[in-house]
Structure formats: C-alpha cells, structure tokens
Structure 1
C-alpha cells in the first residue's frame, strides 16, 4: 500500500503543477493542445474540445503543450493569435509562474493543515541524546554511529548543553571554514549496552559560525513527542516562516554544489524522494505528508531558477524581452537552453547516483 500512496502523492504534485500552467493558459486565452501526466507517447488519451488529455509511460514528470511555445513551429492562421509567443510578456509570465505557484500553494496548505489540525510537535530536548544521523566526511563519521546513545559530552550529561560544549572548542586564531579545533571533544556513548569513550576533534562551520562534529541529535526509538495547539492564524505565520527557511536552505545548498563535495553527496533525486515518501507512509502518515510538502516546495524553488528548460528560464527570457523592448532571438535562447539542460541533467544524475548509493547502503534515515 505504501507504494501506491507514494505514487499517488507524487502524481498529485505533478498533476497540480501542470494544472496550474493549464488553467492559467486557458484563463489568458492561449491554446492548449495537450495535457499529459508523465512523459513519452501517450498510452491512454481522450480529447475534449481543443485539448488532448493523456498519460505517458515515463513517470518522471508531465507537461502541458501550448501552441507556439517554439517560435519556429508552424501554426495554423486561425489560431496564430492565441500562440504563446504571440502573447504579451505579462501573460507568458502568468502562465509559466502558475506551475511553481501551485506547488507553493500545495506546500503551504499541507503545512498549515498539519499545524492547524494536529498542532506543533513539542519534544522534550532533554531526551534528544541519540545519534540520528552522521554526515559523511565529518569528524563524527569516523567515530559515531546512528543509534548511539550519548551519555555525556565533556563530562556534561544534559543534552540541552551538548551543542554549547562542542562549540567551546575553537580553532587557533581567526577561524576559517572547516578548520580543526585545537582540542578534541570527549564523547561517551552507549553502543549496544557497552560504554565507549571517544575523543573527536570538531571543525568550524563557516555557515553556522561555530564548531561542530557533524551528527544529528535524535530521540529514543518509539518516542512520540506531545503536540502543542496552534491556532489557524498562528499556523499561517509559522507555515510561511518555515517555508522561507527551507527555501533559503535550498538555494544556498544548490550554490554549494559547485564547490562543496559534501553538498553534492547530500543531493537526492526522484528515486530517493519517492523512496523516502514510501517509507514514511509505512510508519507515519503525518511524516509522509511533511515530506510531500517539502518536495512540493523544492519543486517550486528549483523550477524558478533562471535556466531553460525550467520555468524560471522562461520567466527570465520574457523579462529580458520586456527590458529590451523587442523579442530575443530564438537561437540565443536555444544556446542558453543547452547550458540549462546540461545543468539540470547533471543535477538529475547526481541525485540518481546518490539515491542508488542510499538504496544499497545506509538508507534514507527518515525516522
């Protein structure tokens, strides 16, 4: 059943994204030729009015075909006035923006709904003494293991103070990103009923402006934190704030791909996102909905990057035309599109490679 639920969740995100483009195109008078869930030749189709609806064999996306998206295509004279590139810039931007806007709306509604009807998790920080995950390539990766129970750090036993204790170990002089602290942290863990004393040297994280070891804190297996009531209006504010934080993190993470090998290892693709959602459905529907909300938000953010064939690329060239005062040569957009396509393809294969590694290795650690 988890396979079906995850598939339906992903299909809904795709359908609604394309539905945003579809409805906006219809609203501004453009001619929509096709509406397809998934790529490839349609396996099943039906026609209503001037639009053909169908489903393709490759479940990696979907598309809406609007007449005149390619300025070089031949268009029947009777529909030429409704072609995409015959429309004012504002109409094109509305149509292209509608897809990411739909994903933003979905993410907001899912997060708002969880906060309003279930409340906000209010876990006891004193119980967060388990290692939930370990970042590859960090000092923690050489010593700690997921599910280790932290007994003490530098002699302190209160988890609330663990981070402060680690941060007290500093680099010599002015800290530089990833510099090693001058002294190690003493970490005592319980691993399978046996206590081990570990000495781990933290590194300075330039983004967080503090030293850290490179692991995440978790709660005891089966721990269910209590929920705190959140009113509908407060949920609006918290949903927007949370989405903004995730958006900022997503943008900065994508920027790091060009120079940070660890950031490249953290990238996940379609396979990983689907598998994480499927696993979440096996033990916690709330967690699965949270993941779908994050995926929907990520789809919106990534799609708005100014590279063709992404939606943001179409918006960028439409704005460039507006500023320039006349259309941009299609040959220029085509050459730019090759660069954008190469970047998107590289990101896709990087995510796929990482996903395969997780499927055959340490897993996705979504609990």
Structure 2
C-alpha cells in the first residue's frame, strides 16, 4: 500500500512538474524575445512565498496543480502600463508570438522525448514491431486436440509423433521455405505446413548455412477458430518469443527514441480524434457499466494507474504513461480552440493572413482581433472542458481503470 501511495504521489508530481515546465517554456521564450513577463508561479491559490528578480515575480502557491506565466499584452485588449506597452506581446511579430505560445507544447514534447530516451538507455523501449520471422524456439509433438481444454494443454502423450525433432530441426533454425514455397513469416510457414502432408522439404538457415531437411508431416485433428474440427498438417514446433523491450546504447538510443516517439505521436493523435466518441462510455461506467480501458482518464485516474505500476514494480508502464500524457497535453493544447494556446495561435495567424489580403487589395491593416466577440465561444468551450474533467474524475473514482 505504501508503494502504491508513493507511486500515485510521484506520478501526480510528475504531471504537475510537466505543467509548470509548460509555463516555463512560455516565460523563457517570451523573455528571450524581449516581451514583458510579469509573474511566473508554480501552483494556484494562496501564495506560499514569492520574490522578484529581473523584473519578474517568481513564486510558489499552495495548490500544486500546474502554474501560470503572466505575459503583458497577450492580446491588444489586455491592460498594460505605459512602461509595459513597448514590450506588450501583441506588438511583436507573428512568428515570435507563435513561438512563445507554442513553447509550452514543445516543452511537453521535449519532456516526453527525454523520458523515453532514459527508458531506452536503461530498461529499453517497447518492441512495437516484433519479428515474425519463422524461427523455431522449441520442438515438441504433433497431437490431435478437438476440444478447447485439449488445445490449451501442451502435454504430449506417449507415442505422439515428433516430426520436427525427428527430421533434425533445432531451436534457432529459420525456415526459409516449405515444399518449395517461401515462408517469410511464421504465419506463412504455419499455413503452408497445415496444408501439407507426408515427406516435405524444409529449407532452413542454421548458423549462416542453408540446409534442406525432409519432414514427414502427419495430419492431425485440431479445433479451428471457427469452432470446427479440421484435419491439418503439424510438425510440432513453436515460434521463438520476441523481447517485449529493446535496449539501446547512448548513441543509437537517439534514433530508437525518435522512431518510438513518432509511433506515440500517431497513437496520441488517434486518441484525440476518438476522444468525443469515447465519452459516452465514460458516462456509462459511472453508473455501473464495465469501464473500457481505452476511455479517457483524468490526472487522478492516470496517477492511480501510475501507483499500481510502482506497486508492482512495472516502472516501464509508469514512464510510458508519463511520456504519453506529456504528448497528449502538448498536442491537445495546440488544437485551434480558445482558450488553449492553439486557439491564440490561430487568431494570430488569422490576423496575419487577413491583413495580407487587405494589403493586396490596397487596404490598411484591420488591427487586432476583438477577443470580446469570441468570449461566448470561449465560455462554451470552458464549460465543455470543465464537464469532461468532472466526468472523467467521477469515473476514475467510482469505476477506475486498473492494470490487468
């Protein structure tokens, strides 16, 4: 229990640190461009302490849920002092404002990459493309199995034939062809063997040498996936298992991490696209339906899963979940919806494109967008976001997702 509580706290701390660094990304880039940063605080609520340095107030608040960065003049409607006016954010070039507003998401992406890189050089990264090469792990017997119980019982009876072993097939042999038919994957070899019978030529690769062995394939009765019993060829051999994690050295870990990061980006985007369609299942789970493990979770739910991972010593799951949440927060925050950073970026580029068209038509720039006209849309999105948060938190309390 102590390990579980510690894991929950550690995961929650990791998320809070990620959000605080998100805001730090805004602050660092804003100051680098010469914008006026007023405050940078970690947490929300009453102030624990604060100090001023370089014209910026830094501090810590009691509620450790993220943080905020106050940049003067993020929009032209924001009130600024005469001293702040020359350094107001809205006065800067479009590309500079874009960099500042996207810096938070970029920070999430960097954090996710760093977590994955550390995994790569320590415990390894998940094997996303396990080899399907027809490499033999062990040899056994060819036996009939006409029921589910018999199919799940690997025990050989006395007298059961052992075609693979009798022909001289060994663990580590890679089957290149069966009966002259190439077998690039284990499933290809399996289907070819099942359709064969009697003495059949197997071309194999062993220790770099190509050999040809003759296997006498018997027909046995096996229970198929459709529930029917069929006569199939069988040689009595199992496939070599593939590692679940692939380790890397410090140099090749860079390429491995980049590749795996690309995979996670694709999966994260797919989750974002599926997000609305999965919310009804979240609501149903609150009222007793079985919780779909693919439904969205809140920070609370993710922290509980992180706690279970630590309790079981599954640190790879803990770190993968932390990295994936950073990727999710980074991508979600870039969606062109207010009040997220992506919404502000969309407004900035709308102004730029609109004014370009006006210039082509010989007109003067129209000036900054009036954010008050977007307040209704922003309010709706805030309410929807708050509702989603409440639903996921409720589901994570009454019907949480658990590790299998």
Which TM class, normalised by the smaller chain length?
0.5 to 0.7
Asked if residue 279 in structure 1 is aligned to residue 308 in structure 2, the reply is yes
Q: 1:82 to 1:287 in 2, by over 3 A?
A: same
SS of residue matched to 1:77: coil
Distance 1:153 1:347, change over 3 A: farther
| Correspondence for 1:107 | 112
Q: CA RMSD in A?
A: 3.5
Give the TM-score, by structure 1 length: 0.67
| C-alpha spacing 1:125/1:353, structure 2 compared with 1 (3 Å) | farther
1:339 maps to which residue? Answer: 380
Q: 1:51 and 2:51 equivalent? A: no
Deviation of 1:225 (Å): 5.8
C-alpha contact (below 8 Å) 1:108/1:239 kept by paired residues: no
Q: Once the 2 structures are TM-superposed, how far is the Cα of residue 24 of structure 1 from its aligned partner?
A: 0.9
Question: How many pairs were matched up?
Answer: 281
Larger Rg: 2
Cα offset, 1:317, TM superposition: 1.0
Task: After TM superposition, give the deviation of residue 79 of structure 1 in Å.
Answer: 1.6
Give the corresponding residue for 2:253: 232
Matches within 5 A, 1:201-350: 227-230=245-248, 231-257=252-278, 261-262=280-281, 266-282=295-311, 283-325=313-355, 326-350=367-391
Provide closer, same or farther for how the CA distance between residues 21 and 280 of structure 1 changes in structure 2, counting only shifts above 3 A: same
Aligned residue number for residue 136 of structure 1: none
Counterpart-to-counterpart distance in 2, 1:185 and 1:42: 65
Deviation, 1:351, is: 1.4
> Aligned residue for 1:213?
none
Q: Give deviations 1:135-185, integer Å, cap 9, x for gaps.
A: xxxxxxxxxxxxxxxx95996889x99xxxxxxxxxxxxxxxxxxxxxx97
What is the CA–CA distance in structure 1 between the aligned matches of 2:331 and 2:52, rounded to whole Å? 32
2: CA distance, partners of 1:4 / 1:251: 26
Out of 2, 6, 10, the position equivalent to 2:7 is 2
Counterpart Cα distance in 2 of 1:308 and 1:154: 59
Relative to structure 1, the CA distance from residue 240 to residue 35 in structure 2 (aligned partners, 3 Å threshold; closer, same or farther) is same
**Do the aligned partners of 1:36 and 1:64 also contact (CA within 8 Å) in 2?**
yes
- Unaligned residue ranges in structure 1 (runs of 5+): 127-150, 162-183, 187-223
Alignment deviations for residues 298-325 of structure 1 (CA, whole Å, 9 cap, x no partner) = 1111111111111111111111111121
Q: Structure 2, unaligned stretches of length 5 or more?
A: 1-5, 133-146, 155-185, 188-224, 228-241, 284-291, 356-366
Change (3 A) 1:328 1:185: farther
User: Are residues 152 and 99 of structure 1, via their aligned partners in 2, closer, same or farther at CA, if it must alter by over 3 Å?
Assistant: farther
1:20-66 deviation digits (Å, cap 9, x = unpaired): 11111111111111111122232222221211112223333211011
State whether residues 111 and 293 of structure 1, in contact with CA within 8 Å, keep that contact through their aligned partners in structure 2. yes
Given that 1:118 and 1:227 are in contact with CA atoms closer than 8 Å, whether structure 2 keeps it comes out as yes
Residue aligning to 1:201 = none
Deviation at 1:4, TM superposition (A): 4.1
Alignment of 1:188-203 (within 5 A): none
Higher RCO (C-alpha under 8 Å, 6+ residues apart): 2
Distance 1:185 1:75, change over 3 A: same
